[in-house]
Structure 1
Amino acid sequence: MAGHSKWANIQHRKGRQDKARSKVFSKLSKEITIAAKLGGPDPDANPRLRLAVQNAKGQSMPKDNIERAINKGQGGDGEDYEEIRYEGFGPGGIGVIVEVSTDNRNRAAAEVRTAFSKNGGNMGETGSVAFMFDNVGEIRYDESVADEEAMLEAAIEAGAEDVIQESSLNDDDEEVGEHVIYCAREDLNEVMTALQAVYGEAKSAKIIWKPQTLTPVEGDKVPTVMKLMDVLDDLDDVQNVYANFDISDEDMANA
Structure 2
Amino acid sequence: MGRKSAKIAAKKGAADKARGQVFTRALKDVFLASKSGSGDPDTNFLLKVAIDRCKKFNVPKDNIDRAIKKGQGGDGVGYTDINYEGYGPGGVAVFVEASTDNNTRTVANVRSYFNKVQGSLGQTGSLEFVFKREANFLVNEENVSDQDEFELEVIDAGAEDITLEDGVYEIIAPVESFGDIQKKLQEINITPEEARLERVPLNHKAIDDEDTLKQFERLIDLLEEDDDVVTVYHNLEEEE
Per the TM superposition, whether the score is higher than 0.5 is: yes
Q: Mean Cα displacement is larger for which, 235-244 or 188-197? A: 188-197
* Residue equivalent to 2:171: 181
* Residue equivalent to 2:197: 207
* Residue equivalent to 1:131: 129
Q: Which runs of 5+ in 2 are unaligned?
A: 1-10
Report the CA distance between 1:126 and its aligned residue: 0.2
The DSSP-based 3-state class of the residue aligned with 1:131 is coil
The DSSP-based 3-state class of the residue aligned with 1:128 is coil
Q: 1:136 to 1:33 in 2, by over 3 A?
A: same
Q: Mean Cα displacement is larger for which, 87-96 or 39-48? A: 39-48
Rounded to whole Å, the distance in 1 between the matches of 2:60 and 2:138 is 20
Q: 1:133 to 1:25 in 2, by over 3 A?
A: same
8 Å CA contact 1:165–1:180 kept in 2: the answer is yes
Rounded to whole Å, the distance in 1 between the matches of 2:14 and 2:189 is 31
Report the CA distance between 1:234 and its aligned residue: 1.5
Q: Which amino acid aligns with 1:236?
A: D
Report the CA distance between 1:59 and its aligned residue: 4.2
Q: Mean Cα displacement is larger for which, 70-79 or 185-194? A: 70-79
Q: Deviations over 1:166-215 (max 9, x none)?
A: 7xxxxxxxxx6744321122322332343466683222111111112222
Q: Which runs of 5+ in 1 are unaligned?
A: 1-12, 167-175, 250-255
State the number of aligned residues. Answer: 227
Report the CA distance between 1:154 and its aligned residue: 5.7
Q: Which amino acid aligns with 1:101?
A: S
Q: Which amino acid aligns with 1:89?
A: Y
* 1:223 counterpart (214, 217, 230): 214
Q: Deviations over 1:77-103 (max 9, x none)?
A: 254322210000122322110011222
Q: 1:67 to 1:192 in 2, by over 3 A?
A: same
8 Å CA contact 1:138–1:206 kept in 2: the answer is yes
Q: 1:104 to 1:22 in 2, by over 3 A?
A: same
* Residue equivalent to 2:65: 67
Give the alignment of 1:59-208 within 5 angstroms: 59-74=57-72, 76-77=74-75, 79-142=77-140, 155-164=154-163, 178-195=168-185, 200-208=190-198
Rounded to whole Å, the distance in 1 between the matches of 2:202 and 2:182 is 23
Q: 1:234 to 1:144 in 2, by over 3 A?
A: same
Between the aligned residues of both structures, percent identity stands at 38
CA RMSD of aligned residues (A): 3.4
8 Å CA contact 2:49–2:191 kept in 1: the answer is no
8 Å CA contact 2:113–2:223 kept in 1: the answer is yes
TM-score, structure 2 normalization: 0.75
Q: 1:16 to 1:82 in 2, by over 3 A?
A: farther
Q: 1:198 to 1:60 in 2, by over 3 A?
A: farther
Q: Which amino acid aligns with 1:160?
A: A
8 Å CA contact 1:139–1:206 kept in 2: the answer is yes
Rounded to whole Å, the distance in 1 between the matches of 2:229 and 2:185 is 30
